[in-house]
Amino acid sequence: MATATARPVTLLSTVLLMYPATLLLGSLFSAISPTARHSRDLSGSSPQPASPLAPSLATDLHLSESPVNYFARKNNIFNVYFVKIGWLWTTAAFVSLLIFQPLYSSSRRESSSQQQARFRRTLQAILRYALATTVWYLATQWFFGPAIIDRGFIATGGKCERALEEVGKMTAGQRSPTGLETLFTAATCKAAGGAWRGGHDISGHVLMLVLATGLLAFEAVGASACAPACVSQVGPTADAGRERKASDADSTPVINSNETGGFARTWSLRLVWGVVCLGWWMLFMTAIWFHTWLEKWSGLFIALSAVYAIYILPRRIAPLKDVVGLPGV
Ligand SMILES: CCCCCCCCCCCCCCCC(=O)SCCNC(=O)CCNC(=O)[C@H](O)C(C)(C)COP(=O)(O)O
Ligand SMILES: Nc1ncnc2c1ncn2[C@@H]1O[C@H](COP(=O)(O)O)[C@@H](OP(=O)(O)O)[C@H]1O
């Protein structure tokens, strides 16, 4: 058992390297692509120096207003309907695994110990999802007030520029607006027409996309690895499946439900891998068009640490494994 889990640790850690590789590739593309260079030329009026190491292309260069590339627009359809509600897609894909993968739900007859094992496995999968969700939520949505990303931004000297000016004008002579900046989050700042500038703005896109694709990929690989064994266990449904092959004419309700199960199983995996692939593509786009190197890498660092802690560390630390489990085991 020890060797069975030890080998994948190295393999899985290596697979995680595809994330930094994606950011590197994106930054490289951004540096050498004539289109990206053209974007930088257009932004000559930007207050920020434009280089792959300098603050944000799209965030500061207003690519959403004069986009050269479709994916450099903040309002591109994939950003609006996929990334901006990315955790909803992640949740839907994850839930589809729980419902349709035989690892978690099975129509075959089981002993009570098998049922208990399945129940425990499902709870552990939900716990892994809850841990990843908590990281996402605290980092990007709420952390006893503004999210960690927003707090980090303000702590490193960032502020809501235009909005502060407005508030400053309104309250001139009455009270200092300086303290107000801590009241803002990136979302409220932008909603108030302000510009979120100055500090270290950890990329929420990178953080969420790495966390979501990591979570789904590990869970899908685990569920797929088990699928053949889970489905081919001897049992009434499995027997029916074999009969189905022998005689197509002899369809029974059990056989149909088996077929429906296979269809749902396949499509739930397709949904998961679809979300993972699109997530990776949008990560690549963020790497090319948005943020500074450091902001992308800090987003990556937080997300990869979480993925490592949830999916790889338990392979090394047995008590942790007993609690969160491993996908497919
Ligand atoms: C101390 C203990 C605290 C415990 C906290 C527990 C938190 C549990 C939260 C439970 C929420 C579960 C929600 C699950 C269902 C959903 O997914 S609904 C949410 C749908 N919303 C999204 O998917 C939003 C995703 N978008 C973002 O996160 C951001 O837009 C972004 C991608 C990070 C980018 O942000 P920008 O503003 O564009 O920079
Ligand atoms: N791949 C992508 N496609 C479109 N917009 C992106 C993007 N990656 C980042 N952005 C935009 O860049 C800004 C900073 O993103 P983040 O900090 O989450 O990485 C956000 O702008 P808005 O907040 O104005 O929508 C976000 O929508």
pLDDT 10s digits, 154-175: 999 998 886 656 666 666 655 5
Q: What is the pLDDT of residues 274-289, one digit of tens each?
A: 999 999 999 999 999 9
* Residue with token string 């909803």: 88
From the CA of 207, give the closest atom in ligand 1: 33
Label residue 232 by pLDDT band (50, 70, 90). low
Looking at all shown ligands, the one closest to residue 85's CA atom is: 1
Residue among 19, 61, 26 nearest 40 (CA): 61
CA distance 309 to 312: 6
| Ligand 2 mutation target, pool 59, 73, 162, 280, most atoms within 8 A of CB | 59
Sign of the Cα torsion 239, 241, 242, 248 reads: positive
Count of beta carbons in the 10 Å neighbourhood of residue 325 = 19
The ipTM is: 0.92
Q: Whose CA is nearest to atom 18 of ligand 1?
A: 88
More confident residue, 205 or 259: 205
The model's confidence at residue 209, banded by pLDDT at 50, 70 and 90, is very high
Type of residue found at 39: S
- Residue range 41-61: average pLDDT? 43
Smallest Cα–Cα separation from 212: which of 139, 121, 317? 139
d(CA 311, CA 326): 7
Atom 21, ligand 1: residue with shortest CA distance: 85
Residue whose CA is at the smallest distance from ligand 1 atom 25: 85
Q: Identify the pLDDT of residue 240.
A: 38
Mean pLDDT, residues 280-306 taken together: 96
CA–CA gap between residue 243 and residue 263 (Å, rounded): 18
Minimum-distance ligand 2 atom for the alpha carbon of 58: 12
pTM (two decimals): 0.84
Closest residue CA from atom 26 of ligand 2: 74
Residue 2's pLDDT is what? 44
Compute, in angstroms, the gap from residue 139 CA to the centroid of ligand 1: 9
Query: How much is the pLDDT for 57?
Result: 44
Ligand nearest to the Cα of 295, by number: 2
Beta bridge partners of 160: 196
Dist. CA 324–CA 218, nearest whole Å: 13
